Amino acid sequence: EERLIAWHNALLRDDEGRIVAVLSAGIDITKSRKMEEELRYLNFHDKLTGVYNRNFLEKEIERLDTATQLPISIVMVDVNGLKLVNDTYGHERGDELLRSAAQVLKASCREQDLIARFGGDEFVILLPETSPEEAQEVCQRIRSKAKGVFVEEVPLSLALGLATKERGEESLTEVLRRAEDEMYRQKLAETRSSRS
């Protein structure tokens, strides 16, 4: 079994300052190191879905808001009807719906794309160096993969909003707001069908 040991060494000297012995003590830090890694993971990941969390997303928005990442697209995703599912079937089913949504997003995105849970029923996808046309392809993959996904008899329904930063003077926070506005427009259009 492999263990992590923190060694502490002390030199023992005689009256004339010569080293006569080395005193070593080893402490098994395997459990504490594992706990540190888990805490580090939880600091940047959403526990329920396994994608990044809002804390990490906000740091990445600051880091990626540079001219070298242009164009950078943002997709805002909302799980339609989550409150209705929670109220009707219970929170376990709602959690299952969120996990299913996260799986669809992971399966639809590229390796360099960053997926984060932004709020209760919202996800944000950062797409560095991605034109509006390429981002639209990602959205199409998401819609396509979401079709046919059910939790019990409830279909997974997602509202998507897309915005792209193409000029350096615009902030990514503004682009995120535009993606959110677009997502809400789509959500309003789909609300009746989601409820039925």
**176: number of CA atoms within 13 Å, CB side?**
18
Determine contact, residues 4/29, Cβ cutoff 8 Å: yes
User: Which 3-state string (H, E, C) describes 66-124?
Assistant: CHHHCCEEEEEEEECCHHHHHHHHCHHHHHHHHHHHHHHHHHHCCCCCEEEECCCCEEE
Token pair for 65: 């808001």
Residue matched to tokens 């990490």: 56
- 191 pLDDT tier (thresholds 50, 70, 90): low
**Which residue is catalytic, options 15, 65, 121, 181?**
121
**What pLDDT digit, counting tens, does each position of 63-98 carry?**
998 888 899 999 999 999 899 899 989 999 999 999
**C-alpha to C-alpha distance for 117 and 53, rounded to whole angstroms:** 5
C-alpha span between 104 and 141 (Å, rounded): 9
95 is catalytic: no
Instruction: List pLDDT tens digits, range 129-184.
Output: 999 999 999 999 999 999 989 988 889 999 999 999 998 888 999 999 999 999 99
Q: In terms of DSSP bridges, do strands 158-165 and 72-79 run parallel, antiparallel, or are they unpaired?
A: antiparallel
